[in-house]
Amino acid sequence: MVAAWPFTCLPVWALMKTPDVEVLQAVLDGIDILLTQNVSPRSRKCQVLNLRDVRQDFWDVWTGRKDEVCSAKTGNEKQVAKHIPRYALRQHLKVVTDLSLGFCLQQHQTCLLQWAQQRKHSLRLCCLKMKICHFLVEIIREILNIFQPNYIEEWEIYTKQVLSLLGCFVPCFDQFSKLNYLQHLSMNGGYFSSDNMKQLFRCLRSPLESLSMIICQLSKSDLKHMSECQRLCQLKHLHFDGVVFPKSCSTSLRIFLENVSESLQTLQLENHRMKDSQLKILLPALGQRSQLTSFDFYEDGVSTAVMKELLQCMANQRKLVVEQYRPN
């Protein structure tokens, strides 16, 4: 069916209720047939194989209706085309997928990745949303090398690896220089030295929309680099949970919060071991959130008196509709 498909897009996942290795292998075999046919790529009818779990009505999309998930111009492809080599533009058959990998590869994921590794030079392999949880650095790097990073729109990596192993993780950030449209960055359970954090944010090529950091340690130098990074000045969503800020970082953190005051819509500050003196330094910056709609503040080390000052500060936020506090 894949080899004979008469329309522009084939939404494979719309045909399956659950991931099926046998069906997926049959689909991949069909792609191989397409690639070996003595037919000009421009005359080939099927241009996009959609492996994303979009859960749309198959009959609404099977004819290749132009929409977000099945269009031959998915996402920012017109702009991305300016940044990829000519040989890639000649590869007209595009395979679009998402990846959510946790702890170990599922059978259908192993099947897809092994197949993609062998054919990465003859297809446009696009992973729009990639989430990787608790994999060895070497495996993460192998996965990133399979897909064209220009097409990754959302990339999340969660890790609890020991410091010596995380030091090997830094070279992976070279991928960031190719992620021209990365919008969401989440770091969970990692430690980065000041030099590494500086390298990370310098690699960003487009403004981030959301930044989430959980159980991380940030130095004054880290926050200085963050406050100076233009790619962070348009954040809409900021989440710090379990991020330890030394007392000397309070002013740097305030500057960073001031820099995103015009764009930030949701702000979560949780479990930072913050004291009264530190929060008082942040109050002027917290009162400048003109677009803020949701604010969460959970901190056991702050007194009730200072919490009242925070409440008074947030009372002037006209767009604020959700507030959650947990005082001592």
| Alpha carbon distances (Å) from 295 to 183, 280, 325 | 21, 17, 9
Give the pLDDT confidence score for residue 244 in this predicted structure.
Answer: 80
282-313 tens-digit pLDDT:
998 888 777 999 999 998 778 889 989 999 88
Report which of residues 232 and 196 the model is more confident about.
232
Domains and CATH numbers, the chain: 1-155 (no CATH), 183-328 (3.80.10.10)
Residue 137: CB atoms within 10 A of its CB come to 18
pLDDT of residue 80: 41
At 70, the pLDDT band (50, 70, 90 cuts) reads: very low
Supply the DSSP string of 48-96, one letter for each residue.
Answer: EEE-S-----HHHHTT---STTT-TT-TTHHHHGGGS-HHHHT---EEE
- Say if residue 193's pLDDT is above 70: no
- Give strand pairing partners of 85: none
**217-221: average pLDDT:** 81
Q: pLDDT (tens digit, 9 = 90+) per residue, 28-64?
A: 898 888 778 766 656 667 788 888 876 555 555 544 4
Q: How confident is the model at residue 133 (pLDDT cuts 50, 70, 90)?
A: confident
At residue 72 the predicted structure's pLDDT band, cuts being 50, 70 and 90, is very low
Spatial CB neighbours of 204, under 8 Å, sequence gap ≥ 6? 176, 179, 182, 229, 231, 232
| SS3 of residue 125 by DSSP | strand
Residue type at 285 in one-letter notation: A
Res. 321 pLDDT band, cuts 50 70 90: very high
Please provide the average confidence, as pLDDT, over all residues in the chain.
Answer: 77
Predicted TM-score of the model (pTM): 0.60
Residue 89 has pLDDT above 50, yes or no: no
More confident residue, 272 or 174: 272
d(CA 241, CA 161): 18
Share of the chain above pLDDT 70, in %: 75
Residue 178, pLDDT score = 66
pLDDT at 129 over 80: yes
DSSP of 162-199, one letter per residue? -HHHHGGGGGGGGGGGG-TT--EEEEES----HHHHHH
Tell me the longest C-alpha to C-alpha distance in the chain.
77
pLDDT score recorded for residue 165: 45
Check whether 83 has a pLDDT greater than 50: no
Is the pLDDT reported for residue 136 higher than 70?
yes
Q: 186 and 212 in contact (C-beta within 8 Å)?
A: yes
Q: What sign for the dihedral angle of Cα 240, 242, 243, 247?
A: positive
Q: Is the pLDDT of residue 101 over 50?
A: yes
- 132-136, 185-189, 294-298: least confidently modelled range: 185-189
